[in-house]
Each structure stands twice: as structure tokens, then as C-alpha cells.
Structure 1
């Protein structure tokens, strides 16, 4: 098959959507398919046969934040560029990943207009939540599942910005009025939790299926390095529970370091707090995939203290693939990945004392940590096998391309 793979960023990380896009391409090529990636044009864009046709990100060059936000609703340049690529490449199927705000939903119009069978992997709740995350004001939120997208303006859900919130609400109302998601033949939800929420929000149950993210698992890492370190490898944003982790860091045994691999809106505030409170935390900034893997191999424990309803976080899968035990908040799809007491430990979201207690338990008992890490490794080997994943993806393609 000739597969047109569509996503905002055709790059090596750092986000889960980018990781999945590149991994999907690798798996499909290994299975004998021709893959044509389509994304926004960036300096770090990986090679693709349609590199010269890639459009700029929606809003690039906008003079105001409102102009940038409004441009993220629908991109004429992305529509025209993808239409030209489809005419040239003539794909058998298109597999769309995260396209919001950069390529925009204009890509679905371009694909439908040329009759391309389309599969869409959902990386968050955007089809039913203008704010992507079903999260606002520090807590999970379901106000928009009934279609009342004006709530996003009332609560300024998009980073407190009235302009971005208005644009997001308009985008969601317009998508519903135009039946944009009717253009998708099949949705892939990486977790049952996400599937249930998007169906609750209006997507048709018979077009949404669960297919967990894959991960490449080699051999379990050797014994952890000393002194013991806790690794957080994700974005530094409020919904990820970063401040809960900082609260917990102050309660950990002497000599333990918490290492933060990532960047985001809270990076400056996190750095300031670490200095002001003298916390045992190293802020590493964004790291390339090979550096993250090296940090994982050296870590005693990986942690994901999320407050929002995570989908199928690659941070958990990548840690387990190295044999590193995971301590995570019991939110969203995470309990599908971490079997409490068997492959890792789960704690209540936002509970710093419980988080510190779970981390301390594994830091003080290397034998238990090793047992959980190896069990987690065995679990991802069996449930998130790349070969099984690509076989399932190919079956989805065959069904929609008939």
C-alpha cells in the first residue's frame, strides 16, 4: 500500500505524537509499504519525498496572538499543499495523526475532496474538547462533552488567553456544523478511556477502536546507577503534575535526585522554585531520544504524576521498555499500562505525600524495584509489540480502503 502519513511535525520527538508518527512510518516501511510523510515545513523536518511541497505552520508570521489563534482554525495553505500532494502521490490510504492548530482540520477536507480513505489516530480529546485535555482550572473537566463549547471561553481554558479560547470554541463549533469528523472512516484510540470519552462527546462508537501505542523493547537495563535518581521525561506543564512532583521531591530521602527531561510553559517557574527552595532537582531541558534513553537506563524509578486524564503516555511505555519501574498517577488510560503492585505503583493524582511515599518505597527496596521493572518490561513486550501493532494497523487500512 501507499500510505500518506499526516501530522503536524515530522521530527524526532520530543512529544508522544511525533514519536508515534515516526515509529508508525518505520513499522509500515518494514512491513513493505510505501510511506509518504506530510507535515509543516520546519528546519528539523526529517526527509520526505514531498519536502518541497510542505506548507508553513498555520499562523506563521501572524502579527498578533489573535491572528495566530484564528489562523489555527483552518489553513488554506495546508489544504492546497495536501491537495497537490494527493494528486501527485495518489495514496491508497491516509493516516492522520495530530494536525490541530498547525496543519489544521483543513487536511481532512483535502482528503475527502479527493476520495482518500482516512484513518485518524487520536492523541488527545480535541474532537470533543476545544482545550484538547478535558482539563481546566487544575482539574479534569467534562463541561464540553455535551457540545457546549462556549464553556472554553468562559473559563479561558487555552492558557488563560481569551483570544485562543474564542478561536478554539469557534473551531469546535465549526467542525461540528460542517461534519468534519464524518470525513474520517476510522478513528484509532490508544486507550479504552479515551475511546469512551470521545464516544460520550459524540463520535460514533462503530468508528472508534482501541489500539494501544507500540514501543520497541530491547533487553531490560542493567542495575541502576548510584546515587539513585528519579526521572520525569515529559512536558513541564500544569496538567502533568510538575508542581506535585516538586512537592514530593522535598520529601525524598537524602541523596536522591529528581531529574526533569523536558520543557514547557512552566520551565522558568520550575527553575525558579528549585533554586528558591533548594530542591534536589535537576532541570535538564528538552533532550533528544537517545539522551532520554540514557537517562532512563540510569534511573532508579520513572515518574508521571499527571493531573489530567492521560491517554496512552509514551513516557510510561518507554520506561517500561527499559525495565525501569514506574510510579504514576492513577488517571485516564494509565491504569491500563501500570498494574499497581505488579508492574509499577499507582498513586492518587495531586497527592504529593502519596507520591513521595511510593517513590521512597522503590528507592529503598532495589529488589522490589527490579521485580516491578522486569514485570513491566514483560508486559509491554506482550501487549505493545510493534509487529502486532502494525498488523492491526494494516487490517484497519484494508477495511477502510475497500
Structure 2
């Protein structure tokens, strides 16, 4: 099978790129030919197809110039990019793929790349990595709070709330972009089936009014890159950005009530000064801020922890940090929000708690502090879960089923989920 793989970036920039490169390698290992379509960039990996790549653009840099030419370039690229459309037409004509798999693309290419795919008679599927299809700000977050005001095509709210970095201009552009693409009607009609890593994201897409099929296919990774330890020490960890919506202040308040264990915080962010002040004011000697750690240092820290805490107060989609913790044999105590409950089963491979509830979080932490053997048991279950649900083999089976149905012109239904046997 010859697959055109579309993603805005062709270097390791974030989770979407990691997935795109991993999926490419997985498909190639099964004998498929994968052709990339992306944007030019100095950090790109080499590709024999880079002549087809769209010219680079950095939106914050262009908008900061505040001159008419730069603004026109930004608007043209976001609303309807003739260059991206022409490059797509060329690569389709020259390579003759069997189908197209789209990942992140909309800002850098616009929806102009989609009609040429259907004009060529190709089936098209898209993996959704965030909430962009329904939220102009992509995250369901506005001013550090969960926000669903734009759900149901009410995109004017992104302007009223100034959701994009607090900028009126950026927010106006984001709202107009959503309305313009709906006016053109070039997005959903040109996608045959959407793939979502979580049921939560799927539910929001359907609630918004998307009528095309949306199937749930959890992201994958190689659990063998993470080695379980199963001899936890008396500490817990937090791994992630230090920002309000990650719930880190809730975790600090929980640590006031949990003096019998230690918290190590790996990460950095804008909330760090406030956290340090809180720690000093409360005399929290059981909290240590470590900053960024190297990959091997981070894995060693997580392996030996009683639990990894995921206290998010926004709609986490399908957390990589969570599944990597389970691969290390470390249970997760996570907020009951977004896609987290799909990865954590309360009392089985970790615990769930009400977002923002420091008392409940402290109580769940104390359970594992009092019973390290339970943490080991939960860790073994979590490890088994990711070995099955998130394995490359499971992911290939599910994605290939979508491909095969599309190529046969058959309706695409939900691929059979992986079944985790009881331990």
C-alpha cells in the first residue's frame, strides 16, 4: 500500500510529530510505502520528497512584524493557501498514492490541500491530536480555565475571551479561520473517517456536530523502552509543565496533608515562582522541584516512585506521560477529567479523584503510602495494560483495518479494542 502521510512539521516538535514518525516506521515495517508531505524547515529530517514541501512560515514572527505584507501572508496561509494546494496536486500526480493519512495541518496548509485528494478519488483519514476541529484555541482552555463556549460553532467567543495568548488580533484570526473553513465547506466533506486517540475527544467532536465517522484508536509506543522496577521507594512524582491547568497547585495543597511522603516535581513553567513561594510559606520540606531532567534520569525517578500524579484541571486527551508511567510499572493517581479515566481505572492501575480536590487527592496518595504492595500490584496491571492496548501490533491492526475498509469502499466501523486479561 502506498500512503501519503500529511503533517505540518517534519522534525521532532511535539507529540503529533512523534506519532507521525512512529506510525510511518510502523507502516514501513509492515511493507507499506509512506510518502511524507510537510513544510520546509531548517530542522527537518532529510527526505527525497522535500521539493514538494510547502514553504516555511512562523506565525508569531510574521504577526510581530505588524506590516501589511506579513499579515497578508499569515491570512493567506491560514485561510486558503494556493501554494499548499498546488504542492498537494503535484505530489498526488507524481506519486499516485492509494490513500492519504492526515495529521496536523490546518494552520500551515489550510484546508486547500483537501479537495485535490478527493478530486484524485483517494480515501482520506485524519488522526486528531487535539481539539482544533471544534475549538479555535485547540485546547478547550481560555484564560486558564476549561471553556466550551465555542462548541456548537459559536466561534465568536474566542474573540470575546481573547483565548489566543490574550491577543485580540490572534483570537480574531482564529475565529475567522473557523468560520471561513465552514463557509468553504472544504474540511469535513473531504475526510472519510476521523481517528481519535480517546473516547473523550470523539464525544466532543460528535457533540460539536461532526457527521463523519469518528473511531477511537489509542496512540501507541514501545513499552519495552521502559523497564519496570516494582520496588517503590517512599516518594511520588509529578512530570509536566508548571502551569495552572495542570493542577500543580492542587497537588501542593495535597502535600500539606501528606507529610509522610515526598514529592519530586520534574518540569518547569510560568508557575514556578508561585510554587516556590507557596512551598516556603507552608514550610513544605517534603517537596523538591527538580526542573528538567534527562530522559534516563526521568525514567529512573518514575520507576521507583509509589505513584505518578496527574492532577490536570483541563481536558487531557490521551496522556503520553500517563502511559509511560504505567510502562514503568508505576501506578497513576489522576484527575477524573478528559481522557484520563480511559487510561486509569480507579482502584485497578491507580486512582481517580475530583479535579481540584486536594483533600481527595491526599487521601488517595495516603492509601499507597500505607500499602506499597498495592502500588506494586497496580503497577503490574498498568504495565500489562499498555503492553496490550498501546502496543505497535494492536495499533497497526486497528489502523490497517481502517485503511482496508476505505480502500474497499466499505463503511468504517470501530476497530475491535484490545482486551486486557485480569491479573
Q: How does 1:48-63 map to 2 (within 5 A)?
A: 48-55=47-54, 56-57=56-57, 59=59, 61-63=61-63
| Cα distance in 2 between the residues matched to 1:8 and 1:357 | 44
Residue among 182, 185, 192 paired with 1:185? 192
Q: How does 1:235-384 map to 2 (within 5 A)?
A: 235-253=241-259, 256-261=262-267, 267=269, 269-277=270-278, 278=280, 280-285=287-292, 292-384=298-390
1:170 deviation in Å?
0.8
Residue number in structure 2 paired with 1:195: 202
3-state SS of the aligned residue for 1:143? coil
1:188 deviation in Å?
0.6
| Cα distance in 2 between the residues matched to 1:114 and 1:332 | 37
| Cα distance in 2 between the residues matched to 1:151 and 1:69 | 21
| Cα distance in 2 between the residues matched to 1:2 and 1:288 | 37
Please say which of residues 247-256 and 1-10 is displaced more in the overlay: 247-256
3-state SS of the aligned residue for 1:307? coil
1:5 deviation in Å?
1.5
Q: 1:363 to 1:255 in 2, by over 3 A?
A: closer
8 A Cα contact 1:36 1:49, kept in partner? no
Please say which of residues 18-27 and 331-340 is displaced more in the overlay: 18-27
| Cα distance in 2 between the residues matched to 1:96 and 1:236 | 31
| Cα distance in 2 between the residues matched to 1:84 and 1:321 | 43
1:76 deviation in Å?
4.2
> How many residues align structurally?
393
1:312 deviation in Å?
1.8
1:321 deviation in Å?
1.8
| Cα distance in 1 between the residues matched to 2:373 and 2:25 | 36
In the alignment, does 2:5 pair up with 1:5?
Answer: yes
Where do 5+ consecutive residues of structure 1 fail to align? none
1:265-306 deviation per Cα after TM superposition (whole angstroms, max 9, x unaligned): xx1x32322433346242533x67666544433443222211
1:10 deviation in Å?
3.1
1:192-224 deviation per Cα after TM superposition (whole angstroms, max 9, x unaligned): 2211211111111x5211222223223751145
Q: 1:210 to 1:155 in 2, by over 3 A?
A: same
1:347-369 deviation per Cα after TM superposition (whole angstroms, max 9, x unaligned): 11122332233234324432111
In the alignment, does 2:20 pair up with 1:17?
Answer: no
Q: 1:369 to 1:157 in 2, by over 3 A?
A: same
Please say which of residues 377-386 and 324-333 is displaced more in the overlay: 377-386
Residue among 204, 207, 216 paired with 2:222? 216
Please say which of residues 242-251 and 82-91 is displaced more in the overlay: 242-251
1:314-350 deviation per Cα after TM superposition (whole angstroms, max 9, x unaligned): 2211211221111111112211111001111111112
User: In terms of Rg, which structure is larger?
Assistant: 2
Where do 5+ consecutive residues of structure 2 fail to align? 409-423
TM-score by length of 1: 0.87
8 A Cα contact 1:75 1:104, kept in partner? yes
Q: 1:74 to 1:30 in 2, by over 3 A?
A: same
3-state SS of the aligned residue for 2:308? strand
Q: 1:307 to 1:290 in 2, by over 3 A?
A: same
| Cα distance in 1 between the residues matched to 2:195 and 2:36 | 18
8 A Cα contact 1:187 1:207, kept in partner? yes
Q: 1:46 to 1:239 in 2, by over 3 A?
A: farther
TM-score by length of 2: 0.83
3-state SS of the aligned residue for 2:341? helix
Q: 1:288 to 1:174 in 2, by over 3 A?
A: farther
Q: How does 1:388-399 map to 2 (within 5 A)?
A: 388-399=394-405
3-state SS of the aligned residue for 1:377? helix
Q: How does 1:21-60 map to 2 (within 5 A)?
A: 21-55=20-54, 56-57=56-57, 59=59
